[in-house]
Amino acid sequence: MKKIDTRGLSCPEPVIRVSRAVKELTTGEQAEILVEAGAASENVLRAIRSLGCDADTVEHDDGFRITVKK
């Protein structure tokens, strides 16, 4: 499983990194993405869904862990 940590990055960098990584996934492959709370998590989820992927989100002390399946 590919892991992407975007915590501490300013927008739009998290969206750019996640979009690139999700596009590289093969069908059935998963990725784990760490994002900060707030606008970054909303923007990343929107980008993931716009690429036609499923995403599950779990809240953590330092943000969110998003699991993406292509």
Indicate whether 56 pLDDT > 90: yes
Angle between helix 39-50 and 13-24 (nearest 10): 30
Written as six digits, the tokens of 51 are: 């690429």
Active site residues: 11
pLDDT digits (tens, 9 = 90+) for 18-38: 999 999 999 999 999 999 978
3-state class of 9 per DSSP?
coil
pLDDT digits (tens, 9 = 90+) for 40-53: 899 999 999 999 99
CATH of 2-69, one of 3.30.110.40, 3.90.230.10, 3.40.50.300, 3.40.50.970: 3.30.110.40
Q: What percent of the chain has pLDDT over 90?
A: 84
Spell out the domain ranges in the chain: 2-69
DSSP assignment of 11-65 equals TTHHHHHHHHHHHHPPTT-EEEEEE-TTHHHHHHHHHHHHTT-EEEEEEETTEEE
pLDDT value at residue 11: 86
